[in-house]
């Protein structure tokens, strides 16, 4: 069986906590989230954002990073995953 190692990847990352922290994130428009807590972070649904991505939009929790990979794809990433999998190379 062949073995593979992930190539080094450089990401741009922006911490998202509220409206306006990243230009591609809008406040989550789904009214069913307003009175509920998020299953991922436990924070109120009304504090969440929405990142328009293909093939489907992704919910952004307060404290998530919006990352852009080398191909230009944007996606939310939990702070703990970023900390474990990547090291900061510049501010």
The domain limits of the chain are: 12-85
Structure tokens at 58: 């992704």
Quote the pLDDT of residue 90. 78
Quote the pLDDT of residue 33. 61
Q: Say how far apart CA 37 and CA 24 lie, in whole Å.
A: 23
Collect all residues with Cβ–Cβ distance below 8 Å to 49 and sequence separation of at least 6: 16, 19, 22, 25, 26, 27, 28, 59, 60
Each residue's pLDDT tens digit in the chain (91 positions)? 878 777 788 899 999 999 999 999 998 877 566 667 888 888 887 888 999 988 899 999 999 999 999 899 999 999 999 999 888 887 7
Quote the pLDDT of residue 40. 81
What are the residue ranges of helices labelled H in the chain? 79-85
Quote the pLDDT of residue 16. 96
């Amino acid at each position: 069986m062949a073995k593979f190692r992930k190539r080094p990847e450089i990401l741009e990352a922006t911490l998202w906590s509220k409206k306006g922290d990243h230009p591609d994130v809008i406040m989550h428009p789904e009214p069913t989230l307003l009175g509920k807590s998020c299953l991922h972070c436990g924070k109120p649904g009304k504090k969440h954002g929405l990142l328009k991505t293909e093939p489907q939009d992704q919910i952004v929790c307060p404290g998530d990073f919006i990352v852009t990979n080398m191909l230009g794809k944007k996606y939310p990433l939990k702070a703990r995953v970023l900390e474990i999998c990547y090291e900061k190379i510049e501010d």
